[in-house]
């Protein structure tokens, strides 16, 4: 047994449909992966290669638990996303075999302190505190690919207090899951336990304390949280 000088942090686990927990190592997020969202954020979807930011594993909020409204923001936004769970790692993974590295999929929310992100963009600073804050990644149960397959089309939708806020189709992603895995694995060595939030469609907007966020992705499942 390793003699750590302070207590070791616990492993973060996400429930898996059918039983067990998926141990999370790192969280990578794809920025601007739906053309309509790129446009609503003032960008050009035809000019950007994939770019990524990260969240810490302990930012996950699983099991439908409440999400505390974060400090230091007046403009908390939702971003509904499909999450890819990596079961087999690798470097320089070929697009043709990338799906063999996927354990499963989940519905997730990339919560964003939009005012902090805007300030960071203005000054050319990192997005870390706008994206990687505590409780910033609500997630539903992971559905194994053996059950869900590898969906590349189908409804992705978020309702806030029962009203549709985001509604699109997975087929509208600029970079597909295999393309994303292949590109990301050239930047870092992917490992079992990594999660990839694959980007959000248009319709992102602010939420307030008391709001209930309920998302769904066809063939994958749901994510739910209440802002408290």
pLDDT at 70 over 70: yes
d(Cα 165, Cα 121) in Å, to the nearest integer?
25
Whether residue 90 is contained in a domain is answered as yes
Q: Is the sign of the CA dihedral 38, 117, 104, 49 positive or negative?
A: positive
CATH number, domain with residue 40: 3.90.850.10
Instruction: Note down the domain range covering 91.
Output: 12-226
Going by pLDDT thresholds of 50, 70 and 90, the confidence category of residue 5 is very high
Whether residue 160 is contained in a domain is answered as yes
pLDDT in tens, 25-69: 999 999 989 877 667 666 677 757 899 999 999 999 999 999 999
Instruction: Read off the pLDDT of each residue in 3-14 and give the average, rounded to a whole number.
Output: 95
pLDDT in tens, 124-175: 999 999 999 999 999 999 999 999 999 999 999 999 999 999 999 999 999 9
Whether residue 1 is contained in a domain is answered as no
- At 49 the pLDDT is 85
Nearest CA among 187, 175, 181, 197 for reference residue 55: 197
Whether residue 4 is contained in a domain is answered as no
d(Cα 225, Cα 68) in Å, to the nearest integer?
10
- At 38 the pLDDT is 66
Count of domains observed in the chain: 1
Enter the DSSP assignment of 139: B
* Burial class, 15, CB count within 10 angstroms (exposed 0-12 / middle 13-18 / buried 19+): middle
Q: Distances from the Cα of 222 to the Cαs of 112, 114, 155, 181, in angstroms?
A: 19, 24, 12, 23
Mean pLDDT across the chain: 95
The structure tokens listed for 136 are 């910033």
Whether residue 78 is contained in a domain is answered as yes
β-pairing verdict for 137-138 and 143-144: unpaired
């Amino acid at each position: 047994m390793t003699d750590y000088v302070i207590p070791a942090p616990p492993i973060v686990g996400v429930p898996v449909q059918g039983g067990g927990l998926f141990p999370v190592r790192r969280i990578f997020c794809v920025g601007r992966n739906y053309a309509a969202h790129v446009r609503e954020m003032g960008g050009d979807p035809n000019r950007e290669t994939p770019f990524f930011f990260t969240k810490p594993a302990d930012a996950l909020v699983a099991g439908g638990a409440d999400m505390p409204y974060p400090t230091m923001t007046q403009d908390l936004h939702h971003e509904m996303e499909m999450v890819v769970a990596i079961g087999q790692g690798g470097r320089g993974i070929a697009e043709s075999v990338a799906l063999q590295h996927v354990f499963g999929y989940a519905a997730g929310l990339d919560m964003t302190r939009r005012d902090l992100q805007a300030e960071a963009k203005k000054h050319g600073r990192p997005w870390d505190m706008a994206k990687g804050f505590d409780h910033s990644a609500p997630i539903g149960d992971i559905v194994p690919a053996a059950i869900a397959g590898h969906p590349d089309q189908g409804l992705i939708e978020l309702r806030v207090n029962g009203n549709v806020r985001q509604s699109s189709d997975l087929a509208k992603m600029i970079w597909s899951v295999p393309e994303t895995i292949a590109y990301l694995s050239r930047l870092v060595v992917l490992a079992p336990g990594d999660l990839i939030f694959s980007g959000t469609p248009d319709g992102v907007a602010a939420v307030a304390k008391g709001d209930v966020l309920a998302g769904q992705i066809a063939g994958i499942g749901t994510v739910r949280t209440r802002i408290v």
